[in-house]
Amino acid sequence: MELQVVKNEVIKLIDIALSEDIGKGDITSEACIDDDASLTAKLILKQHGKLAGLPFLATIFQHVDPRITLDLYVREGSEHSAGTIIGSVSGPARGIMSAELVALNIVQHASGIASTTALYVEQVAGFPCEILDTRKTLPGLRYLEKYAVKIGGGHNHRYGLDEKFVINKKHLSFLAKTSKSPIKEAVKRARKYRPGINVEIAVESLDLIEEALAAEADIIMLERMTIPQVCQAVKIINHRARVEFKGCVTLETVLAFAQTGVDGISIKDLTHSIQDLDIRLKF
């Protein structure tokens, strides 16, 4: 996915978030803060982590009031300790206070994802194994969350159902009603429907691997297998297809799965139920 496309989608998200939060106006700030009042506030990192979403901060503040300026002291994707001053925001006090929550929500969430992803990437350093995200993203936040995964050093599995074929148990169960070789039939149909797009087959047992290879699947996704089973599967496939694993993977177990020789590991926890990174705006 092109970066500009991602940025355009995040800007749409920002428009929705600001409209949702401010509504017809920040009546508290309008009542308590003089129209000509100005201030400078500091963005402060309250815990160690990798920063993501910084390029969107200026868009958020200036959407509320174009007179607001943002100075960043650190780079996107850089890692810092608690207490680091990320940057400063200056301009009309009302506008800064009105935009504060949306700005923090965006950068905290993106940074939490980038920080978690970076931890997984660090665990598998030295192995030719990619850390992949999934489609388990919060509604409306997919582009931001997948962008943050890449900032953390991870890779995007696919943005949506229209990007590549992923044939799994539900598709094979349906085709099994009319075909003796549902994997072969599924791959054939996919190739005919949209030539030139990678076809991935998800398998939950070793028995299905040879059929997936015979069907010439581009990618074989091993699901819910033990580490010994994954090792055996990688030997059977023997570089005849890309191999990915998807299952219950944690920071404690990801290295063991990488050591099996898989090319990628999909981890839903990169974007699902993630803990945001603590960042504050200090007035």
Separation in Å, CA 146 to CA 113, 116, 141, 151, 201 = 9, 13, 9, 9, 22
Establish whether 136 is a catalytic residue: yes
Exposure of 86 in the CB half-sphere (CA atoms within 13 A):
34
State the catalytic residue, choosing from 12, 24, 42, 136: 136
Positions marked catalytic: 136
